[in-house]
Structure 1
Amino acid sequence: MGSASMTARERLIIGLDIGTPEAAERMVERLGEAVSIYKIGMQLAFSGGLPLVRRLATAGKDVFLDMKLLDIPNTVGHAVEAIAAMGVTYTTIHAYPQAMRAAVAARGDARLRLLGVTVLTSLDAGDLAEAGYAGDVSDLVLRRAEQAAAIGMDGLICSPQEVAAIRARIGNALELVTPGIRPSGAAAGDQKRAATPTAAIRAGADRLVVARPVISAADPHAAARSIIAEIAAAVG
């Protein structure tokens, strides 16, 4: 689906960064029809949440299984095959060329969409230097974006701060999904490269991943609706 045809609701992904499947299901019930896409990450997956993937898919929700795969090609390929068989809509692979090529080959004709993780939004230039990378964050993100497009990935996970530069470099070749979204007044937490929903959409993001500002809100349904309204206004 091209971004121009998406509704504001379809642009919002809620991260179920919750410790138990039971609590996650209660959150899904509270959010109701306000949300159509849910992200299940490591915390919930490793707490018994994988069966929730099928339950959400059966209920008509799209599921983003955020496993950030990185391993030898054979292992990445078999993992992608297993994830595709679960009915997942999106999954993530760290944007190393070898891993991305293995994922694309293993996905085949499945409906699963592959997102390359460029540089985690909790990292900045100092963190990259400490890890042994030369250059700055934007250089690495743009290089990985070019590689992902050439390899045949469907999209990228990138911070809102890099969206405009990626669009300038590769156009609309990839769907851009941005975590690190913080509505005005929300605490940044451990996110070092964050932005508001309005700023991310206007920069060219297709979908926004939001977790804590919604699931920790006193009224999660109202918080989600507020973000959807802000997205709609930004798309304008």
Structure 2
Amino acid sequence: MAKLCIALDTHIEKALSLIEALAGLPIVFKVGPSMILDHHRRVVDAVKERGFELFLDLKLHDIPNTVALAVESAERLSADYLTLHLSSGYEALKAAVEVRRKIKLLGVALLTSLDEDFLRDVGVCLPKDEYFTKLMDVGIKAGIDGFVCSVYELPIVKERGFMAVVPGVRVEGDPTDDQKRVATLREAVEGKADMVVVGRSILRAEDPIKRVEEILHLLTKD
């Protein structure tokens, strides 16, 4: 069964209300840069205090020493998952692996808001899947735990036996907004995603709690 990860890309009051209302359910909460910058440990601590898994989506992309220090900081927050850009290179990824203790490190190759048009614009002549695979190989060599990918790259990750986290997942009929390589919940589940990240389909729902329960039911059923 795929885990449900809720992206807390919302205002602080709604985030805390969701965390409180969903206590006891098998959910991962994803906290990104804006929430960390605005509210520091307020949301992070709320997630951990109520027994949820914490996913820090910081997409670290820096020199090896800086990446390693950030991983150590994430460990002190008791984060369960942390994202890093694979294009940081082998040395930075290896530095992250060497200092981590319990946290799972997840590599990001290509944001779901980007596609092959972007790769061509910046002079990357490889097809998207080949570009993704080459960066994934760097992460595998460094020893990271899994990969963030769209549903289109999901088979590549699962064929190699790694954890696959699929962002940009929508409930059928919901708009795609600024993301291009999105998936429905059904597509992600059928592709054997280990974790599906849902944000706006929950946050914009008339009844977010009911929407979460519906998604969990679908995940359990499958």
TM bracket, shorter-chain basis: over 0.9
- TM-superposed CA distance for 1:49, in Å, is 4.1
SS at match of 1:133: coil
The corresponding residue for 1:147 is 138
Aligned with residue 78 of structure 2, among 62, 87, 92: 87
Distance 2:221 2:26 in 1: 17
- TM-superposed CA distance for 1:35, in Å, is 4.7
- TM-superposed CA distance for 1:222, in Å, is 1.0
Structure with more helix by fraction: 1
1:155-198, Cα deviation, whole Å (9 max, x unpaired)? 11111111013323x1x1x2110101011111111111111111
Flag the 1:99–1:113 CA change in 2: closer, same or farther, 3 A: same
Kindly tell me the number of residue pairs found equivalent between the two proteins.
220
The corresponding residue for 2:185 is 197
Sequence identity percentage = 33
Q: How does 1:119-138 map to 2 (within 5 A)?
A: 119-138=110-129
- TM-superposed CA distance for 1:229, in Å, is 2.0
Structure 2 counterpart of 1:94, one-letter code = H
Q: How does 1:9-28 map to 2 (within 5 A)?
A: 11-20=3-12, 22-28=13-19
Q: Tell whether 2:211 aligns with 1:211.
A: no
Q: Tell whether 2:92 aligns with 1:99.
A: yes
Which deviates further from its counterpart, 51-60 or 193-202? 51-60
SS at match of 1:98: helix
List, as ranges, runs of 4+ consecutive aligned residues in structure 1 with deviation greater than 6 Å. Answer: none
Whether the 8 Å contact between 1:14 and 1:35 is mirrored in structure 2 is no
Whether the 8 Å contact between 2:23 and 2:50 is mirrored in structure 1 is no
Distance 1:57 1:28 in 2: 10
Q: How does 1:1-236 map to 2 (within 5 A)?
A: 7=1, 11-20=3-12, 22-96=13-87, 97-107=90-100, 110-168=101-159, 170=160, 172=161, 174-234=162-222
Structure 2 counterpart of 1:100, one-letter code = L
1:19-57, Cα deviation, whole Å (9 max, x unpaired)? 33x331012223343452100011211111433212321
Which runs of no fewer than 5 residues in structure 2 stay unpaired?
A: none
1:196-221, Cα deviation, whole Å (9 max, x unpaired)? 11111211211000000001111111
Structure 2 counterpart of 1:62, one-letter code = E
Distance 2:172 2:114 in 1: 21
Q: CA RMSD in A?
A: 1.6
Whether the 8 Å contact between 2:114 and 2:180 is mirrored in structure 1 is yes
Distance 1:40 1:54 in 2: 11
SS at match of 1:91: strand
